[in-house]
A = this chain, B = another copy of it.
Amino acid sequence: MLNNFDMKSKYDKDTCKEIIEEYDRKLSSLSREIEKHKIPVMIIFEGWGAAGKGELINELIMPIDPRSFIVYSSFNQYSEEEKYKPRLWKFWKNTPERGKIAIFDKSWYKNIITEYTNKKINEKEYKSMIRDSISFEQTLINDNYVIIKIFLHISKEEQKRRFEKIEKQTGRAWMLKKEDYDQNNRYDVYLDSLSRVIEDSNTKISPWNIISSDNKKIAQMQIKEKVILEIEKALERNKEMEDDKEDIYLEKSENILAKYDLSLDIEKEKYKQELKDLQEELKELSFQCYAKRIPVIIAYEGWDAAGKGGNIRRLTEKMDPRGYQVVPISSPTQIELNHNHLWRFWTKVPKAGHFTIFDRTWYGRVLVERIEGYCSVADWKRAYGEINDMERGFSEFGIEIFKFWIHIDKEEQFKRFKARKENPEKQWKITPDDWRNRDKWDQYEEAVNDMLSRTSTKYAPWDVIESNSKKYARIKVLKIVVERLKKRLKEA
């Protein structure tokens, strides 16, 4: 695409100016429209060094109300913290709220381009990064996000001319980095890899816009035109009905839960001894994970009163609090609702070397949200794939993922609800919600079986934990965590 791009423009400078004024009025009113209709917009800028990103971004934002947008810059550098998180973390974190515009000066493609050009990654890693980027965009676009990808193109000669101009200005030499010169010296090498990255990520739902920046006035006009067009299209789409969305066909799942024997138990003395030993072992392993910078996610889901809290407490009892965090998930806040459903989990991804334990998880989408109708049918059906994509990305970054379904049967739950009701110290733990959920036991059972069969992957398998005996459940979880971490550490 880049190789045979026509750098000459059809427009002349004078007609541009008038058009730009018209566009500015439009952008100003469109930014209020997207606020009103709660449409989130992401605009990313990639391009050659000295292509004029700064100026062009500033001209794009001038007519827009500062309440509507935010510019993220220097996104080519990864901070210490960012290096310890999956590559897309900092972009996920900064996805805009519905109704806002986020502009990225350098995007999730920047480090693919740099590392691919300089042969820092192999073909497999390259493909995995491209796939990650595409599924990131896909997830957001399916959620009504508008993503506009702009590449600013200049010729080798023009780039050289601009470098020389910058060099001549006093006190500006620091603006040119080694990479910039390298780009110009090896323009053709960069051109080849840029072409490949752009072609490989030029999807139908999220295409690239290549804009010649040799003439900045014309570039400005073309960028504004593109942004207006895409926002107008989104506003149009927004009017269509939600249920127009294509239905996804999913196969019926088998009853996986039925296979588990809930009478499994452990005797008290054996429990005490094993608990102590396993906790000591886990403490030791967690230090080793820290030393080897292995991040760990432990995700808990389960029936109400199944004993998640106590199970987590036994898991962490001997661990160093500086190495783990328990993240309880309840219903989303307004700000969380204003983002994609996965956003609030992405922001909580553990730093390499740390454990994050989720007490309830992103699977809420296919459990409570599905059953209570908090999202559309298309939304939760799509979620299985989105979640698998996310977990695959985590796993490829090196995160060890455990997912536990803490399982009890309906009779056991009733006993526990009754006991809570009768104990003044535990009454706060039981709410009318719990009884309501209980009435929908069969629906939940179906949803759990669907979840287990559709999202149990090689890189992030589910383990069902028989928990009619809480003691048995605690030991089983500890054993699974200890065994798998030992294996992982041996390979590390």
Contacts and interface: CB of A to CB of B under 8 A. Distances in A.
Interface of A: 25, 29, 32, 54-55, 57-58, 61-62, 65-67, 70-71, 73-74, 79-81, 103, 105, 171-172, 174-175, 287-288, 291, 309, 312-313, 316-322, 325-328, 330, 333-335, 359, 425, 428
A98 to B, nearest CB: 15
A32 B427 CA distance: 12
A73 B322 contact: yes
A23 to B, nearest CB: 15
The 6 closest A-B pairs by CB, nearest first: A73-B322, A66-B326, A54-B320, A67-B328, A58-B321, A57-B321
Nearest to A319: B58
Contact of A335 (B58, B67, B313, B333): B333
Contacts of A321: 54, 57-58, 61, 71, 73, 103, 105
Nearest to A68: B328
B291 A171 contact: yes
A54 B321 CA distance: 6
Contacts of A67: 328, 330
Given A80-B79, A328-B67, A62 B174 contact: no
Nearest to A312: B66
Contacts of A320: 54-55, 58
A312 B67 CA distance: 13
Contacts of A25: 425
B171 A62 contact: no
A332 to B, nearest CB: 13
Contacts of A73: 321-322
A287 B105 CA distance: 17
Contact of A428 (B32, B70, B330): B32
A291 B175 CA distance: 9
A458 to B, nearest CB: 29
Contacts of A174: 291
A66 B328 contact: yes
Contact of A322 (B71, B79, B328): B71
Contacts of A326: 66
A17 to B, nearest CB: 16
B291 A54 contact: no
A255 to B, nearest CB: 32
A51 to B, nearest CB: 14
29 contacts: A54-B320, A54-B321, A55-B320, A57-B321, A58-B316, A62-B313, A65-B309, A66-B309, A66-B312, A66-B326, A66-B327, A67-B330, A70-B325, A71-B321, A71-B322, A71-B325, A73-B322, A74-B322, A79-B79, A79-B80, A79-B81, A103-B321, A105-B322, A171-B287, A171-B291, A172-B287, A174-B291, A175-B287, A333-B334
Contacts of A333: 334-335
A314 to B, nearest CB: 10
Nearest to A72: B322
A333 B105 CA distance: 28
A309 B65 CA distance: 9
Given A58-B319, A80-B80, A174-B291, A66 B359 contact: yes
Contacts of A428: 32
A326 to B, nearest CB: 4
Contacts of A317: 58, 62
A335 B338 CA distance: 14
